[in-house]
Amino acid sequence: MKEDRKHVEERVIAFVQEQTGWDAGRLTNGTRLRADLGLDGDDAGEFFKDFAEEFSVDLRQFDYGRVFGPEGCNPFAFTLWIVYWFRPPPDPSDVTISDLVLAVLNKCWIAPSTSKQR
């Protein structure tokens, strides 16, 4: 039996608040993880790992590199720069809390609609 959407929204917002430290009262379904909360790089990777475990969501279809960039500077920065140079730029669309709710309800990642992208 699928969970009630309102209950899932409350649980996801509580999770985002716990993970990011943002006040839950300021988080909405439209809150963007990267643009609004500043989630990126390794922090975003850890967030999604914890999200998948907490909500038993299959994230194999989630294309992390299209939304989030690499973490700051590291010894392999030049190599990463070359790899990223030949890749298409990250998609300017951002993951919202609503996208997370949808993933929880479906127990797998559902790519955001194309109307939200570019």
Domain map (residue ranges) of the chain: 5-110
Find residue 58's DSSP bridge partners: 108
CA angle 114, 4, 27 (to 5 degrees): 60
Q: Is 95 exposed, middle or buried (0-12, 13-18, 19+ CB in 10 A)?
A: buried
What are 69-91's pLDDT values in tens digits?
766 555 555 555 455 555 444 44
What are 45-74's pLDDT values in tens digits?
999 999 999 999 999 999 888 888 766 555
How far are the Cα atoms of 16, 53, 63, 93 from residue 114, in angstroms, in the given order? 24, 27, 14, 10
Query: Quick one: fold of 5-110?
Result: 1.10.1200
